[in-house]
Structure 1
Amino acid sequence: MTQVLAARAGKITPEMEMVASQENLDVKIVQAGVATGKIVIPRNVKRKHFNPCGIGQGLRVKVNALIGTSSDRDEKEMELKKLATAEAAGCDAVMDLSTGGDIDGMRRLTLEKANIPVGSVPIYQAAIEAIAKRGSIVAMTADDMFAAVEKQAADGVDFMAIHSALNFEVIKRLQTTGRVTDIVSRGGAFLTGWMLYNQKENPLYEQFDRLLAILKAYDVTLSLGDAIRPGSIADSLDGAQLQGMIIAGELVARAQAAGVQVMVEGPGHVPMHHVEATILLQKRLCHDAPYFILGTLATDVAPGYDHITSAIGGAIAGAAGADFICYVTPAEHLGLPTEEDVKEGVIAARIAAHAADLARGDKRAWERNWQMARARVAVDLDRQLSLAIDGERLKQVAQGYGHEHQHCAVCGSECAAAIAAKYFGI
């Protein structure tokens, strides 16, 4: 029985209890959210020992990290180090996006080592294997696609990005919008090429019930991949994106009716004044399903700093109702990230998520900020270290700027905050 069906039957699962404890909420609130599809708890029935999390309405905004091998860099140990780095930096989930080398082996290692939910994109493996077995991606069959989903579900993957909300209606709309970047989604590009070459509908859309049956059997959370998300600021909120949102909403309703947990991905590159409208549209069209944002990058002109551009957009998106932020690293648009890039990406996304939690009125977020402010007034560096999102970084900076005596080098012992506090206490 899936989490959704259990919740609708009035049952409280151990996963719901764990999420309620993590969020300091009454478990019945979590149960009601899962029952209505406003909360998902990614946890494959095959996985046993890890820390699940809840994603959705009324919960803390979560952060996702990415790892995976490629044809250019097939180093499992390096990817496992990046997994450990991401977890240590505080991410809530991770996706294995391997497209090269021993894809099955990398995924199984990730599932074995990860202490958090693990996601994947099955079309990547199906497409890469089609090249090896059949000579090209366009020679891939529908059965190849569903076999990849089934295999990864059987391995224990907790959530899957699957580009079912892409059909010929969306492609037709895309062909008339005059986009600058056309398709930047790798899965979307694979499927669009396959559809146009074979002149066949997307099997992941056309045979959606077949897909739902596999996911339901393992209680895999469906993450509806945004195949035509805008890849540049100029393309934000164009007709193709809106058409994709409409199709996604129809599929969310079908997944929820079938008892499959579902969230929705998007939106890519979005200028700040479009962010709130995008989130509100997505939530409205997709029945308040949790929203998993990829980005959101607020400008196109900062390569090397895209962890910052995405944190700006991500904070606004989270405040507007997005529930799950996929990190972006400094290596975005440039290459595969290093361990340090992974840490920077997770921390930037966590800052955005925390800022969003504050805007959403999360009591724990506000309490943490209050405690940090009091620690600064008290010139209590140890307390600040414990409250900081990245205490290790704070310690390094503090040492570099001469904080050996529990005060900063700007004011020295005559700290402005401490002096004011002293006399206010008279």
Structure 2
Amino acid sequence: MNQPSTNSFGIALPRAPWVARRSGDATPTQLFYARQGVITEEMHFIAAKERIDPESIRSEVARGRAIIPANIRHTELEPMVIGKAFKTKINANIGNSAVSSGIEEEVEKLTWAVKWGADTVMDLSTGKNIHATREAIVRHSTVPIGTVPIYQALEKVKGKVEELTIGIYMETLREQCEQGVDYFTIHAGVRLKYIPLTAKRVTGIVSRG
């Protein structure tokens, strides 16, 4: 069965045929292929953009010195690489809050971010409808989309940290992976022995300044 050339929003799906051809592979990640000595279509695409030999991309990824954030569920994506051997990349942060913005506004932010050169975009939504907002962002995005999963995990327990479990957190990770998110920022917490070091802080511990 032929893959559709566009999604329901009319966004092109350049990776759809590539992903379909590899659908039977047990570990269809760029790292897996790189370590098997395979130069993927994504690597060829990136090589043309970076004006570099595709083998250089495969080698850097295989050695763990570069990454290609490209979820197989994100077929709208135009692949790119991040690593010291390649061009510098720029990230843009978007996302709703409890007091402002809706889905259409977030998609518009994405559009402008990509138009003005963002190589990746992070959805840092902490307000309502996080799942639906992220779905719209991923489906409209030609660049890799990242998230901070704990924001949605906390939404699921209505902000009650004491009710957050590893099960809820892992469920959130899987949900976002299945949606097409390409990379994560993981907040792993603070070890108990370091808690005393936080006692004299002027402000609370935050992740984004």
Q: Give the secondary-structure state (helix, strand or coil) at the position aligned to 2:206.
A: coil
CA distance in 2, matches of 1:57, 1:174: 35
* Counterpart residue type for residue 20 of structure 1: A
Say whether the 8 Å CA contact 2:145–2:182 is kept in structure 1. Answer: yes
1:87 maps to 114
CA distance in 2, matches of 1:148, 1:176: 30
1:172 maps to 193
Q: Can you list the C-alpha shifts for 1:238-259, whole angstroms capped at 9, x where unaligned?
A: xxxxxxxxxxxxxxxxxxxxxx
User: Normalized against structure 1, the TM-score is what?
Assistant: 0.41
Shift of 1:15: 1.2
CA distance in 1, matches of 2:101, 2:109: 13
Say whether the 8 Å CA contact 2:74–2:139 is kept in structure 1. Answer: no
Map residues 14-413 of structure 1 onto 2, 5 A cutoff. Answer: 14-131=41-158, 136-164=160-188, 166-168=189-191, 171-173=192-194, 175-176=196-197, 179-181=201-203, 183-185=205-207
Gaps of 5+ in 2: 1-27
CA distance in 1, matches of 2:196, 2:52: 47
Say whether the 8 Å CA contact 2:92–2:118 is kept in structure 1. Answer: yes
Q: Give the secondary-structure state (helix, strand or coil) at the position aligned to 1:94.
A: strand
* Counterpart residue type for residue 185 of structure 1: S
Shift of 1:183: 1.4
CA distance in 2, matches of 1:130, 1:54: 35
Shift of 1:74: 3.7
Shift of 1:113: 0.7
Say whether the 8 Å CA contact 1:74–1:101 is kept in structure 2. Answer: no
Query: Which of structure 1's runs of 4+ aligned residues deviate more than 6 A?
Result: none
Identity %: 38
Q: Give the secondary-structure state (helix, strand or coil) at the position aligned to 1:95.
A: strand
CA distance in 1, matches of 2:203, 2:46: 39
Q: Can you list the C-alpha shifts for 1:159-187, whole angstroms capped at 9, x where unaligned?
A: 111123x442xx5235237555451227x
Q: Can you list the C-alpha shifts for 1:192-228, whole angstroms capped at 9, x where unaligned?
A: xxxxxxxxxxxxxxxxxxxxxxxxxxxxxxxxxxxxx
Shift of 1:137: 2.1
CA distance in 1, matches of 2:94, 2:167: 27
Shift of 1:39: 0.5
CA distance in 1, matches of 2:167, 2:53: 43
Say whether the 8 Å CA contact 1:69–1:99 is kept in structure 2. Answer: yes
Q: Can you list the C-alpha shifts for 1:382-407, whole angstroms capped at 9, x where unaligned?
A: xxxxxxxxxxxxxxxxxxxxxxxxxx
CA distance in 1, matches of 2:140, 2:73: 15
CA distance in 1, matches of 2:164, 2:44: 42
Structure with higher Rg: it is 1
CA distance in 2, matches of 1:73, 1:179: 29
Shift of 1:147: 0.7
Q: Can you list the C-alpha shifts for 1:357-384, whole angstroms capped at 9, x where unaligned?
A: xxxxxxxxxxxxxxxxxxxxxxxxxxxx
Shift of 1:50: 2.0
Gaps of 5+ in 1: 187-230, 232-426
Say whether the 8 Å CA contact 2:91–2:121 is kept in structure 1. Answer: yes
Say whether the 8 Å CA contact 1:128–1:137 is kept in structure 2. Answer: no
1:312 maps to none
1:253 maps to none
Q: What is the root-mean-square deviation in Å for CA atoms of aligned residues? A: 1.8
Say whether the 8 Å CA contact 1:44–1:153 is kept in structure 2. Answer: yes
CA distance in 1, matches of 2:76, 2:106: 21
CA distance in 1, matches of 2:52, 2:147: 29
Greater relative CO, 1 or 2 (CA 8 Å, sep 6+): 2
* Counterpart residue type for residue 197 of structure 2: T
Q: Give the secondary-structure state (helix, strand or coil) at the position aligned to 2:185.
A: strand
- Number of matched residues? 181
Q: Give the secondary-structure state (helix, strand or coil) at the position aligned to 2:158.
A: helix
User: Normalized against structure 2, the TM-score is what?
Assistant: 0.80
CA distance in 1, matches of 2:173, 2:67: 19
CA distance in 1, matches of 2:100, 2:62: 42
Residues 174 and 24 of structure 1, relative CA distance in 2, 3 Å threshold: farther
Q: Can you list the C-alpha shifts for 1:257-296, whole angstroms capped at 9, x where unaligned?
A: xxxxxxxxxxxxxxxxxxxxxxxxxxxxxxxxxxxxxxxx
Q: Give the secondary-structure state (helix, strand or coil) at the position aligned to 1:62.
A: coil
